[in-house]
């Protein structure tokens, strides 16, 4: 015959264990959902720092290289077809670009190329195109290590760049359980492109492809 007192004592323990398990499951599912956003942040930081070792953990370079080759080929093929109708001579540049797809792909399947893709600067299919070089340390960064100086007057407006870069709109969202897309658009109405991350395990993600629009 069971002891009612012991049975009553076990109930709070069982409820506590159930609650802990439920909290753990919710935490795991929550982190699994947030994992591509975390991976994207790490990927972006590593790309901007040109941290090749970390990028190797977040980029599937063979898959990215094949995707770049396919996307640039399709982009240039569309461009040739359109230009043939309007100006046959204008299509020559695009044809040259097709012949130079290999070097372009090799240039963008690199830390510099990944940084460009994640900063709104995808390949355009221009012959001899290469991703932009890392920016030089800014004067503000250099001044952080210099002795403090009295505040100077603001620089005149004429010292500012003639034209500021167009604002970039970025959206990130799941396309499926195992695919996550980061979509970039310079300004409303302009062509957009996407960087695609695929799940690599429960919490890990890798950049594997791009989708270009011309």
Show the low-confidence residues of the chain (pLDDT under 70): 1-10, 83-98, 135-168, 186-191, 214
- Structural domain includes residue 154: no
- Structural domain includes residue 146: no
For residue 145, what pLDDT is reported? 40
Name the residue range of residue 73's domain: 12-123+165-211
Q: Buried (b) or exposed (e) across 45-56, using 16+ Cβ within 10 A?
A: ebbeeeeeebbe
For residue 154, what pLDDT is reported? 39
- Structural domain includes residue 118: yes
- Structural domain includes residue 155: no
Question: What is the distance between the alpha carbons of residues 180 and 173, in angstroms, rounded to a whole number?
Answer: 6
- Structural domain includes residue 40: yes
- Structural domain includes residue 143: no
- Structural domain includes residue 145: no
Tens of pLDDT along 66-79? 999 999 988 888 87
For residue 8, what pLDDT is reported? 60
Nearest residue to 188 via CA among 214, 167, 213: 167
* Number of domains composing the chain: 1
126: number of Cβ within 10 Å? 14
For residue 31, what pLDDT is reported? 83
Tens of pLDDT along 16-41? 888 888 888 888 888 889 999 999 99
- Structural domain includes residue 105: yes
């Amino acid at each position: 015959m069971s002891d009612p007192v012991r049975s009553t004592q076990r109930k709070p323990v069982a409820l506590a264990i159930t609650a802990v398990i439920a909290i753990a499951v919710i935490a795991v599912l929550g982190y699994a959902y947030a994992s591509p956003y975390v991976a994207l942040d790490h990927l972006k930081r590593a790309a901007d720092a040109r941290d090749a070792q970390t990028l190797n953990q977040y980029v599937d370079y063979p898959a990215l290289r094949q995707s770049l080759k396919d996307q640039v080929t399709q982009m240039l093929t569309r461009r040739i077809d359109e230009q043939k109708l309007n100006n046959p001579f204008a299509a020559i540049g695009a044809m040259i670009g097709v012949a130079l797809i290999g070097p372009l792909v090799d240039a963008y399947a690199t830390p510099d190329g990944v940084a460009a893709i994640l900063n709104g600067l995808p390949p355009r299919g221009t012959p001899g195109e290469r991703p932009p070089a890392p920016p030089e340390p800014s004067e503000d960064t250099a001044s952080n290590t210099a002795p403090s100086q009295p505040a100077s007057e603001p620089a005149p407006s004429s010292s500012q760049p003639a034209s500021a870069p167009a604002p970039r709109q970025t959206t990130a969202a799941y396309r499926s359980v195992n695919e996550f897309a980061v979509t970039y658009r310079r300004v409303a109405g302009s062509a957009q492109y996407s960087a695609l991350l695929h799940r690599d395990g429960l919490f890990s993600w890798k950049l594997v492809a791009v989708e270009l629009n011309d």
